[in-house]
Every structure is written in C-alpha cells, then in structure tokens.
Amino acid sequence: AMFLLCELKDIVALAPEKFGSPGLEAYEQALNEKLSNLVLHKVGLCCALWDILQVDEAHVFPGDARSHSQVRFRYVVFRPSLEEVLVGTVRKCDTDGVHVSLGFFDDILIPPDQLQHPSRFENSRGEPAWVWAYDTGADTGPHQLPMERGDRLRFRVVEELWRDVLPGGKQQPQQLGQQPAAPLDEAARLPPYSLLGSVNEPGLGLLDWWSDA
Amino acid sequence: MQVVNECNQVLTNAEVYELLDGIRKSKRAVGQRNSALKNLATLTHTAHKFLAEQTPAPTQTSSAITAFLTDIRQFNLSRQEALQLVNLCPRSPVEVHVIVDDCDQRLTDEQVQMLLDLVAKWFPDSSNST
C-alpha cells in the first residue's frame, strides 16, 4: 500500500513553556515538528503522527530546563510497495524519462526503457514529450500517443532508491538518521528517497489511453 | 530515533485521508502560525489535495471498505491486491488485470466482472477516481 504505520521510539525534550499543555499535545507537536515531511532512511517519507503508545517518566538533567521523556509512537509513512500500481501526474519529460509527481512526493521517474515500446523523446513542438508509437496494424501507420506535463497516468513501482549522504560524501554509519534537506555535492543532489516506475504493460500509462478498455 | 517496527500496519488511502482531514480541521491548526509546524502544514495540504483530487479516498467509509473486503474473500487475493482494489477502484477489466498478478490464470472473465461489480457497489463512481 502507499501508506503504512511505522512504530518508532524517541526521546522528546519539552521546554518549560510547554509543561502546561493539555494531555499529549506537546508531545504530538514535538514529534510532528521533528518528522513531518522528512525522509527516514530505509523507512520512507514521514507524513503525520498516528498515535502515541507510551510515554515514559520524564527526566530533567542538570543545566537543561527541558524535560526529557522516551516516547513510543506510530507515524504514518509513505512508502509504496514494490509492484504496487499508483496514479500520478506527469511533472516533466526530459532525456532521463518521464518524471511523475503525486503532489506531496515528486521523486518518481519512469526511465525510457520502462516506457511502452517503442517510445521516443520529442522536443520539437515546444512541449517536451515522450511519444509512444502504438502500432494498431492500420494502413495509416502507428498512433502517436504523447506523454506530456500535466497528463494523469497509472504506473507500477519497480524500484526504490535510497541515498544516504553526509557532508563530504561519507557513508552514514548503521544507525537510523534523517536526511538533510539541502544537498551538498554531486552525489548528494539525488533525493534521499526516490522511486523508479514502469508503464510498459497494458493498462498502464496515461489514463486516457485505456478509458474505454 | 529508533525503529521499533518498520511496518506495524498498512493503511488504506481512505484512513490517511481521514487523518489529514482531521489535522486540517483541528483547532490545533495553530500550527499554521507556528513556523516550526510548517512542514506538517505543507505535507498535510499537498497529501490531502492529492488524495482528494486523484483518488476515491474521500468518499470511502470504513464500513464500505470492510464490507468490500469481506465480499472479495472468495477470490483468494493477496492483501496487497485487495488493498490496491480499494485504493484504485478499478472501473474496467484492464485495470483489474494490472492489479491482480497472473490475473488470466486466477480469475475468469466472469469473476473479473464480479469484482468490478463489487467495486461499483461499495464505492460508486463519483467521477473523481481513475
């Protein structure tokens, strides 16, 4: 499925001004501040807090006015399964392939070898497009079916790519970590989590192509 | 941060939509004034928009989903296939073939049509879905 619940454990530090907040509100806010819209390596894109399962006794440390508690909670994570079929919109076409967006997640690419065969890249009509030459056997030759920015399409997830990069391009050690938002060098230009998709099957590709099938 | 269970449960798009809807409506959308919760606001807004405009999630009730899942048990589909039927609401045979692995070998044309009829019964087309 597109979304799943991930159970996590973390220490939440609350500043004194939060001490009066009702119930678990301060913990909920702290967890959402920390995780929402961030990629956790090999876990997925964190969306929003689902629930808090347990809050342990709070501790205060010398020199630190904040209270620290270990919190066990479940977070909604976006991480489609491999082979799962999704619907999205074409964000742009270039020589890398067809880039697809879901609005809240943009790092989806359908590379040229995963398009319907045969497809070619065209940039002559002002709008870059990948065009599928669909051979119906008619005398007039194959139908030209373009995929362009704004088109809605159905695609299958075929691979997940994780980039785990620290400053200097060093590999991050085994522990779980969050990804920095701003890339720092060549290798780091790749997003922390991205998907490769395929439309090379009947029923996949633009929704319009199959709407009468 | 420690992962206790990478996948405690899978969710339908409808369940996620309901959560996001609640966050948007909640008075604790005080977050919009709080710049530290900007990420949550961005994610909630864009994901809610996607689910509302590109999927049938907003109209799917949990009772309809449960009833649908019960009705399709006879077809011996995997959990992933069942969930995709709910999330995608296929309206034509080719869409079912894309969701069910080796569909030709596992389902007859009549069974594919029965599946489509069940989708239409529990998740009527509000012309918003695929």
Say yes or no: B49 and B93 in one domain.
no
Taking only residues 68 to 97 of chain B, the set having a beta carbon closer than 8 angstroms to any beta carbon of chain A reads: 80, 83-84, 87-88, 92-95, 97
pLDDT above 70 (res A140): yes
Is some CB atom of chain A closer than 8 A to the CB atom of B109? Answer: no
Supply the pLDDT for residue B127.
Answer: 60
Say yes or no: B84 and B113 in one domain.
yes
CB count, 10 Å around CB of B3? Answer: 14
CA angle A162, B39, A9 (to 5 degrees): 65
Say yes or no: B35 and B70 in one domain.
no
pLDDT above 60 (res A174): no
Instruction: Check CB contact under 8 Å for A4 and B10.
Output: yes
Number of domains in chain B: 2
Option in A9, A32, A47 nearest B47 (CB): A47
Q: Could you report how far apart the first and last alpha carbons of chain A are, in Å?
A: 25
Say yes or no: B115 and B69 in one domain.
yes
Domains contained in chain A, CATH given: 3-78 (3.30.1490.120), 84-209 (2.40.50.140)
Q: Is this structure's pTM higher than 0.95?
A: no
Question: Which residues of chain A does B19 touch, with a Cβ-Cβ cutoff of 8 Å?
Answer: 48, 50, 76
Measured between alpha carbons, how far is A201 from A204 in angstroms, rounded to an integer?
6
The residue-averaged pLDDT of B96-111 equals: 95
Q: What are phi and psi of A165, to 5 degrees?
A: -125, 135
Say yes or no: B51 and B63 in one domain.
no
- Summarised one tens digit per residue, pLDDT across range A151-167 is 999 999 999 999 986 66
CA distances from B13 to A1, A109, B16, B50, B63 (A): 8, 22, 5, 10, 14
Say yes or no: B18 and B51 in one domain.
yes
Residue B30 structural domain: 13-58
Say yes or no: B107 and B97 in one domain.
yes
Structure tokens at A97: 């392939």
